[in-house]
Structure 1
Amino acid sequence: MMRALPRRLAPFLFALLCGPLALATEPAAGDASAPKAAAAAPGGLPLSSFLPTQGPLRLQGAEGRVEFSLPISARESVQYAQLRLVATNSVSLLAERSQLAVQLNGSTVVQLPLSPRQPEIVADIRLPVALLKPGYNTLSFVAAQHYTMQCEDPAAPELWTEIDTTRSTLRLDTALKPINPTLADLADLLAPTQWSGGALTVVTPGQPQPALLAAGGIVAQGAALRLRYQPLTVRHTLAKPAATRGGGAVPGLDTRGLRGDAVLLGNATALRPYLAPETAARIKGAFLAIYPMPNDARRFVVVVSGRTDEEVATAASAFAWQSTPFPRQAEMNIGAVRAPELPDYAAGGRIARPGSYRFSDLGFTTRSVEGTRTDALTLNMSLPADTYAPEDAYIELALDFAQGAGMGGNSVVNIFLNGHFQQVVPLDEGRGGLMQRYRVRIPLRDFRPGANTLNFVPRLTPTSAGACANYQTGNLQFTLFDSSLITLPQVFHFTLLPDLQRFALSGFPYTVRSNGEHLAVWLAGHDSDTVSAAWTLMGKLAQRKSMPLTRVRYGYERPADDRHTLLLGVSSQLPKDALKGAPWLPGQRFTQLALSNQAVPVSDPGWWSGTWSWLSGGLRTSLDTSKVGPVVIDGDAGLDSQLLAMQYRAPFAGKRTLTVFTSDSASALRDGIARLIEPRYWDNLQGDVSLISPDRTTVSWQQVGARYEYGGIGLRERLGFYFSQHPWLWFAVTVVLLALLAMVVAGLVRLFRVRAHRNVAEQQEPR
């Protein structure tokens, strides 16, 4: 054992021990249209920030084209926009006929020649501000590429131009507009299109108790849901009286030092010192209002209040559930909020139950592709994180599509699942036409828990008719209809935990209940930084769920009922009884895997032990323990401002799961959670222990703790799962059964021969 390990050595110790084992993954790509949650830097944001995948954009063929969405917020005015384009074209292009056009919302901004003598392009292009509109704008790159003046193959491989999405940048200088907001404007004021970043300050008149903690969590979820894919950082602060009362609806609130927009949360009595008397008098129930920020008309303050804690919770729920515009008024008294009772696993775009679903039910709309373009038609769908089915289970697609006539016989539609090729649909009907319910099957095991992306990529080629053929591309047409079906077979809900990757993908197991009634948030400290971390984390879970979790239990004590629990706090304040069975003891013990890159078999106490455990209901598999033994190092080793996330079975709640988020200070915990919700960190959580460092863009993780079952399956499926984990046992059982069958058959043959000889002997005896 090691004693008195210096705190500063903790990160070096982790890096040293985890060198061969804790994978440092590259940042995952975010949403296709998601900008960075910050204003553009002086040099601009790289184009890769707006794309779903990393790597260059390739314009292929005689008519190459790529485009992406450029978001502009309705509350911001764009004062300057510039694109720095860095690209490389093929040296086989014909300079006289090849050029690259940059288009904004369909209007050509600039044309650049594509020359084989100067194949590298670096151009600063000023985008006309007048062409930019609130919402999503389309920035397109259109290439006309040729290699000869006469006979040409429009799909020749040498016809290409690549745009470097890392060195190509987009700069937007924006300014917030003064606002006079109404509740109907919330959809524009909290929108994923804004460039000024997602930050919200929740102000309470005193340190929030459990009821106000819950209301604040609901407000944070409502704001995060409006931002959709953009991370939202929530800060909590205590209300301070203004030095001098001004005018407006909240003249008594000191707004200096508030970060971004704000929410004033509390009951009417507690908020009375901060509200104008006439405003306080209008609180006659669950009260929701929005006003300009005092001393800064570009920001807003939302007031969530009521006469009782129950009415405050109702107002918060109205804020969170709002999906259609409120009336165009600044204030509103709400009588009740009647949220729908949804089944377990329900969420936007999620296939929760076996059956057939239309593509339109999953948000897909009918789309077409023409010419030699290779646009991907994308279907986003989500599966429950604990979906389990036999190895031979398939998800079936029944596609409705139309294809043009006279296309080349090698025209196809390639189907990709999460970026990996799965199936192909040949478009070999020379006369074209409409195809209905074309069947395609994809193994269910290839889908990942949570969100999945199906891309249908047409490859349309013209008919070839000789060396100098007149190629026709106008007939290259493909349309995929939203009446297509996707069918989920009979599945079970069963998996092994802990698994931080499943948690990151869908919030599992905390979001199984659609209203969050099986989730508890336990705060180990009463400070504002810990509260901020909890609310920020709940906003991220709501984004993964696509709906607010309004029945979550919050508190500063261990949950009294049986719930899955999220525990947040400084490592020195974490309750000792909650750390029983933890894979790490923060500040006291590191548990590492040794030589995890080598396959070291685990000693087996005997086949009878595993068999008895399985028959008695406890499934033992090779996933239950690590493939190698852990190395435990005791010592005084702090986290050094790193965020530690670990998941294991809750020692106080039976089969429930506990996930702990901790750091060595409350401010480090707050900043660590704000960093964690960024896609490059969140999408790379794995194992049962993950470590996020402020000076690294990767996640270090490992799987060291014991695993346990979640959910249940039938006997037949349990046998299949068990034997899939222990194929040698399946082979042994098969051999034994065959041997027993051979023995039975041999015995029956022997018995038959004895009886046959006896009958013959009896017939031959003289009478």
Structure 2
Amino acid sequence: MASSADLDADTLPVWFESHSMKYANFHSRRDRARSIPNQHAFLSLLLTMVLLTPSLGIAQATTEAVLDESTTEAGDGTNAASAAGTRRIERSLASFTDAFKDARLLGSRAQINFDIPLPARWEPRELRLDLVYRNSVNLLQAHSQLRVELNGLIIAQLRLDPERPEGRAQIRLPLDLLRVGYNQLVFAVAQHTLVEDCEDPGAPELWTQIDTQGSRLHLDYEPRSLNTSLSALEELFDARLWNKEPWRILMPPSQNAALDDAQLTWGALVAQAIAIHLGFVPPTVESAPLTLGTAQDGSQRRFAALNASDLLDRDAILIGTRDQLRPILGAEWASSVTDGYLALFAQPNDDTRALLIVSGRDAQEVERAATTLAFMETPFPDRAQVLVSDLIPPDIPANSGPGLLPGGVKARFMDLGASTTTLVSPLAPASWFTDPGFSGSGTQVSAVQRHLRLDFWIQPDFHIMGSEDAILSLNFSYGAAFRGDSVLNLLVNGVFVRGIPLDDPVGASLYDYRLRIPSSLLRAGPNRLELVPMLVPLKTDRCQLRQGENLLMTVYGDSALQLPFMTQFSRLPDLALLVQSGFPWIRDLQGRDLAVQVVSGSREAAGAAWTLLARLAQINGVPLHRARLGTAPDTEGRESIVVGVLNDLDPVLRDAAPLYLGEKTSRIDYTTLRVLTEPETALAWWESPLAILQGWFTARPAEPREFESHVTYAGHPLGRLGLLMAFESPTQTGRSVLLLSATEPQRLLERATQIVQPEYWFNVRGSLVLWNDKPDELRWQPARQTFIIGEGPTEARLSYLFGHYPQALQALLLGLAALLALLLLILMRRFRRRHHPLIHHEDN
């Protein structure tokens, strides 16, 4: 910590502004409990410091006492042990949100919210915010402030000083305000540039910026003893954990170093169970062998023969049959395994770490227990051990998804999860219209009240016949005395579609107000429809009262959305479909038509395959328990996923891949020039003539085209890159292959762990993806060779052709009609000459 002797006159004000907060909060509950003499001592100290620096213009702050400056320097999500049993972890504010990295607070009044997670397994000891911010140099210091709130209570106030626009503050967050789950941390400003004259609340010089990358949260915590009930799986697989440690899946070694097909299946099911319980957080798993340790205390402790070096101070999952685990877990434990078996224990040497056991008497029972783990959604059973005697999974139709909305069906908002909702204006929210429990005070209206979101799912391989649009039928009402430019904006998947004017001065109630949504805005998998009101007060002149108590509108739950009729028809490969919905590899949500090959069965390849499958299962929240896994699974009639080191791949697959990987050479295409031209995507033999004919009548829409240099290398210079490719199976027409590879086993696992992270995953597209340690260096290439699949009726293919080549098909039909008429005329003449030769005709 710097001392006053080390600071000159220029740096002392900045130092004192941040450190004076340590002694400023005399109104906290903790300080009120202290004795009066202690309060006088603090007041005397503060008064002395102020008198010693009369000319420094010290900024005032109200905050709890902060932690000492000596902190563990660690990156996001890292932790370190400090005092006995206490650990420290830190993360930047930016890591808690993807919505914004540079949070700007604009206007005379604004706020930004962060949801700070606190897992149930941690007991917080100290939580400190190191805040970095910047403000406009045109603000009035006496009338501008930044306040910090935690779960609705103001914990700090910082004066915004235009003379020192770069500010820092260390704020201790009160532990008694924290709760398990998500804690709302709010930064709100009141900013002014004028006092006596009227002020424009939207003036561009009214701004403050929170440096979300430089601002950091430091948490000191103690791990709690593990809740060993299976009803607490959500605490075990907790998305709120700040550090994302990989789960260790431990299995007894097989006869050779590779995992057998049963073990590959068990590990995949457990990894998917972890992913489904985590929800939106990408899973991280690794495979390790389970070895026999030596009991040091006469086996008095439970599982004393478990080797501590296998656990590596992490939560662990043990998987195996009863006989495989008996030497490690003991005969007493084995006697309790009489069926499929699930159990949750604390580790022998650390009661804060989990030991989850998945077992059974044979392979089928182990598989049943592992599958059950993924389906356990409610807090039941409330026991540490349970036997699974039977499992009947649901029969889910293919091409389903969460919130599936079929084509041609009219669905009400309430059936899609959006009940009748009253919305307020973001400009002047109605202060009296609050809902205790989620909205807070009237000046802190939640996002739920500012817009209405409707989430629905569209089958991945959808094709809309003709040029039909989706129809939105709205039932809504709005208040009186709105300004004429008030509107209700409609957005679909983040794209503005249309605004509805709300310009009746006495308000209105409208029913069956219909809007057409272009079908081109719909996408495979998850879709989002948003209704965002912009309600403007009638009186907005300078120096006039701006009130928003009348700025309300209600959207009723019986409003409806109807999609056009759809058929199943799509062009592949397209890795964007994989990201959005898992199509076509999880066309069936339970994996009936999926085969996964883990080449060589190594533990690194197994971990990579499990990580990828876990991410795919996370899309729909359903385990792929009917998929075939193995080192050489039967792929007949199934889509394929192949995971393995480059040199171990089947030469047939390498020859068919977009990136040619022969035995001695490899070939890649480097983009040399990008232009706009007619599309030259390779088409089927029956489609190419139509494309040529269509070009005679209309100009085809221009598409980006890349001119490439084709380079052949000796060997396989993939180096440190990860490789993901999609292409048509060389052995099964119409079936797809997804290939994940790298040059070394450990690198394969690392790259698989990276590609499922959001910064990588949502940039995957085309048919070829290459990436390394930097997400912004991920590169992809579009498909050069495509194929069409579809299981819809014959009219689906005709609709596809008429939609893409209308004039060509019309010309073709007219030509066929003319040819048929000519043929009919020739036949009629022959018939007349043969049967009526004496009859005279004018055309003879």
TM-score range, shorter chain: 0.7 to 0.9
Distance 1:696 1:153, change over 3 A: closer
1:252-651 maps to which residues of 2 (within 5 A)? 252-259=305-312, 260-364=314-418, 366=421, 368-370=423-425, 372=427, 375-390=450-465, 392-432=467-507, 435-464=510-539, 467-480=542-555, 482-586=557-661, 588-599=665-676, 610=687, 628=707, 631-651=710-730
Q: 1:233 aligns with which of 284, 287, 297?
A: 284
Q: 1:38 aligns with which of 65, 74, 77?
A: 77
Distance 1:138 1:398, change over 3 A: farther
Aligned equivalent of 2:109: 63
Cα displacement (A) at 1:325:
0.8
Aligned equivalent of 2:180: 134
Secondary structure of 1:215's partner? helix
Distance 1:708 1:478, change over 3 A: same
Cα displacement (A) at 1:709:
0.6
Greater mean alpha carbon deviation, residues 371-380 or residues 521-530: 371-380
Distance 1:419 1:353, change over 3 A: closer
Residue deviations 1:129-160 (CA, integer Å, cap 9, x gap): 22111111111222233444464555556544
Q: 2:761 aligns with which of 675, 682, 696?
A: 682
Equivalent residues of 2:407, 2:562 under 8 A apart: no
1:80 aligns to 2:133 (yes or no): no
- Name the aligned partner's letter for residue 262 of structure 1: A
Equivalent residues of 1:37, 1:231 under 8 A apart: no
The structure that has the greater radius of gyration is 2
Cα displacement (A) at 1:211:
2.5
Equivalent residues of 1:415, 1:457 under 8 A apart: yes
Q: How far apart, CA to CA, are the structure 1 residues paired with 2:362 and 2:674?
A: 58
Equivalent residues of 2:488, 2:534 under 8 A apart: yes
Instruction: Report how many aligned residue pairs link the two structures.
Output: 702
Q: How far apart, CA to CA, are the structure 2 residues paired with 1:581 and 1:303?
A: 42
Q: How far apart, CA to CA, are the structure 1 residues paired with 2:720 and 2:194?
A: 61
Q: How far apart, CA to CA, are the structure 1 residues paired with 2:328 and 2:422?
A: 53
Q: 1:652 aligns with which of 731, 734, 737?
A: 731
Cα displacement (A) at 1:255:
3.2
Equivalent residues of 1:625, 1:707 under 8 A apart: no
Equivalent residues of 2:109, 2:188 under 8 A apart: yes
Cα displacement (A) at 1:70:
1.5
- Name the aligned partner's letter for residue 365 of structure 2: E
Q: 1:182 aligns with which of 210, 216, 229?
A: 229
Greater mean alpha carbon deviation, residues 137-146 or residues 231-240: 137-146
Secondary structure of 1:597's partner? strand
Secondary structure of 2:182's partner? strand
Q: How far apart, CA to CA, are the structure 2 residues paired with 1:160 and 1:739?
A: 72
5+ unaligned residues in a row in structure 2: which ranges? 1-74, 81-87, 430-446, 693-699, 823-844
Q: How far apart, CA to CA, are the structure 1 residues paired with 2:352 and 2:360?
A: 26
Aligned equivalent of 1:699: 778
Aligned equivalent of 1:163: 210
Distance 1:603 1:568, change over 3 A: closer
Distance 1:603 1:691, change over 3 A: closer
Residue deviations 1:358-396 (CA, integer Å, cap 9, x gap): 445445464643552684543333322222214633223
Q: 1:668 aligns with which of 726, 744, 747?
A: 747
Q: How far apart, CA to CA, are the structure 2 residues paired with 1:110 and 1:538?
A: 46
- Name the aligned partner's letter for residue 77 of structure 2: A
Greater mean alpha carbon deviation, residues 596-605 or residues 124-133: 596-605
Cα displacement (A) at 1:53:
2.9
- Name the aligned partner's letter for residue 261 of structure 2: P
Aligned equivalent of 2:826: none
Secondary structure of 2:675's partner? coil
Q: How far apart, CA to CA, are the structure 2 residues paired with 1:413 and 1:625?
A: 36
Cα displacement (A) at 1:436:
4.7
TM-score, with length taken from structure 2: 0.76
Greater mean alpha carbon deviation, residues 366-375 or residues 537-546: 366-375
Equivalent residues of 1:191, 1:226 under 8 A apart: yes
> What CA RMSD, in Å, does the superposition of the two structures yield over aligned residues?
3.6
Q: 1:47 aligns with which of 85, 93, 116?
A: 93
Aligned equivalent of 2:273: 222
Q: How far apart, CA to CA, are the structure 2 residues paired with 1:78 and 1:403?
A: 46
Equivalent residues of 2:601, 2:630 under 8 A apart: no
Residue deviations 1:426-467 (CA, integer Å, cap 9, x gap): 333434465554433321211232233333332222112755
Secondary structure of 1:514's partner? coil
Greater mean alpha carbon deviation, residues 84-93 or residues 332-341: 84-93
Equivalent residues of 2:525, 2:581 under 8 A apart: yes
Secondary structure of 2:759's partner? helix
Greater mean alpha carbon deviation, residues 553-562 or residues 330-339: 553-562
Equivalent residues of 1:198, 1:230 under 8 A apart: no
Cα displacement (A) at 1:561:
2.5
Residue deviations 1:535-593 (CA, integer Å, cap 9, x gap): 11111111112221110100111424211010001100001123342112347312215
Equivalent residues of 1:350, 1:362 under 8 A apart: no
TM-score, with length taken from structure 1: 0.83
Equivalent residues of 1:371, 1:474 under 8 A apart: no
Distance 1:608 1:256, change over 3 A: closer
Q: How far apart, CA to CA, are the structure 1 residues paired with 2:218 and 2:509?
A: 45
Distance 1:49 1:460, change over 3 A: farther
Distance 1:466 1:557, change over 3 A: closer
Equivalent residues of 1:648, 1:688 under 8 A apart: yes
Q: How far apart, CA to CA, are the structure 2 residues paired with 1:401 and 1:222?
A: 42
Distance 1:529 1:624, change over 3 A: farther
Q: How far apart, CA to CA, are the structure 2 residues paired with 1:348 and 1:606?
A: 34
Aligned equivalent of 2:54: none
Q: How far apart, CA to CA, are the structure 2 residues paired with 1:659 and 1:515?
A: 18
Equivalent residues of 2:425, 2:536 under 8 A apart: no
Q: 2:219 aligns with which of 172, 176, 188?
A: 172
Equivalent residues of 2:225, 2:352 under 8 A apart: yes
5+ unaligned residues in a row in structure 1: which ranges? 1-35, 616-620, 744-767
Percent same amino acid at aligned positions? 32
Residue deviations 1:244-274 (CA, integer Å, cap 9, x gap): 2645543332132435211111111111112
